Amino acid sequence: MAAPHTCRTSVEIASQPDTWRQAAASADSLSAALPRRGERVAVVGCGTSWFMALAYAQLRETGGHGETDAFAASEFPTGRGYDRVLAITRSGTTTEVLDLLARLKGTVATSAITADPATAVMDLADTVAVLDFADEESVVQTRFATTVLALLRAHLEAEGALPEGVRPIAGAIEDAQRAVDAPIGDDLRGAEQFTFLGTGWSYGLALEAGLKMREAAGAWTEAYPAMEYRHGPISITGPNRVAWLFGTAPQGLADDVAKVGGVFVAGSEAAGGLDPLADLILVQRLAVLIAQDRGYDPDRPRNLTRSVILDDGQA
């Protein structure tokens, strides 16, 4: 039986199979706001939304849908030629995202994906996909972020191609339920440090996993492309420290982690083999548990607000 929810964040985490299902079912009706096959696209966002942008950019380009870059909204390289700029913003109020969309208005097609249709992003982007059913009370993003990726995956699938090895969204939704229900070991809960690793699109997920654990639990986390792990980051791993891999592990990596005494976790092997997006749910749940173990309230993360709204002169 699933554990009872102890905070709003865990209720939202557990709802992901449903919100992914709803997003997949909306892919067709929301397609006007989503990149078309062949377009050269830049995807932008801040924080979690930036990491979802990174994951999607890899999925889209390796799936053969067109060149796709991802940038933190504040780092968008003006002057590049794109057919479309897609902004991801749960709140619809993040200053750097809105400023960029205002600057780009009339120069390139712009789209946005948001949770809140009562915000400025609705006017600043040319077309908007609203995922209000995935909005969150929680400051820390969980289900909105993954639901955006579920929507974008379903859209790529409907347009004809997913990269090799990426499962259809229906399989990911099944895995999401398994990730919601899977037990989480005490060795993970008590670990001192976490290094998250990914390849291709799952590198964006690794970055998000690291951010989630920092935001919700104040945990010491790092994130790298999996093949970069041996180029320095492995020096941090040791007993009671975790190296967590999203997707397929590079050959020999598990042995390398074992050699330095670390704990190796491969979501693709956990709970019978999880889709990397569902593996992220395990990390979200772990972040809540660690936060509570440390006496933090996951619903009220330290130093964070739902959205960063800067004063004139700060941006």
Q: Which residues bind ligand F1P (CB under 6 A)?
A: 45-49, 89-91, 94, 97, 139, 141, 215, 304, 306-308
1 Cβ partners below 8 Å, 6+ apart?
A: none
Question: Which residue's C-beta sits nearest to ligand F1P?
Answer: 47
**Residue among 91 and 195 whose Cβ is closer to ligand F1P:** 91
| Neighbour order of strands in the sheet with 127-130 | 68-72, 41-45, 84-89, 109-114, 127-130
Please state the closest distance from residue 13 (CB atom) to ligand F1P, in A: 15
Dihedrals phi, psi of 269, to nearest 5 degrees: -110, -20
**Residue among 221 and 237 whose Cβ is closer to ligand F1P:** 221
On whether the CB atoms of residues 275 and 56 are closer than 8 A, the answer is no
Please state the closest distance from residue 1 (CB atom) to ligand F1P, in A: 31
**Residue among 118 and 158 whose Cβ is closer to ligand F1P:** 118
**Residue among 121 and 249 whose Cβ is closer to ligand F1P:** 121
* Residue of 177, 187, 195 whose CA lies nearest to 233: 195
* Residue of 185, 165, 189, 153 whose CA lies nearest to 246: 165
Please state the closest distance from residue 215 (CB atom) to ligand F1P, in A: 6
Please state the closest distance from residue 314 (CB atom) to ligand F1P, in A: 14
Please state the closest distance from residue 275 (CB atom) to ligand F1P, in A: 22
User: In angstroms, rounded to a whole number, what is the distance separating the alpha carbons of residues 33 and 125?
Assistant: 9
**Residue among 184 and 308 whose Cβ is closer to ligand F1P:** 308
Please state the closest distance from residue 36 (CB atom) to ligand F1P, in A: 23
**Residue among 94 and 199 whose Cβ is closer to ligand F1P:** 94
Going by DSSP bridges, is the β-strand pair 68-72/241-246 parallel, antiparallel, or unpaired?
unpaired
Please state the closest distance from residue 94 (CB atom) to ligand F1P, in A: 3
Please state the closest distance from residue 176 (CB atom) to ligand F1P, in A: 20
CB atoms within 10 A of CB 286: 25
On whether the CB atoms of residues 242 and 196 are closer than 8 A, the answer is no
**Residue among 47 and 298 whose Cβ is closer to ligand F1P:** 47
Q: How far apart are the first and last CA of the chain?
A: 48
State the DSSP H helix or E strand holding residue 112, giving kind and residue range, or none if neither. Answer: strand 109-114
State the DSSP H helix or E strand holding residue 133, giving kind and residue range, or none if neither. Answer: none
**Residue among 151 and 243 whose Cβ is closer to ligand F1P:** 151
On whether the CB atoms of residues 143 and 47 are closer than 8 A, the answer is no
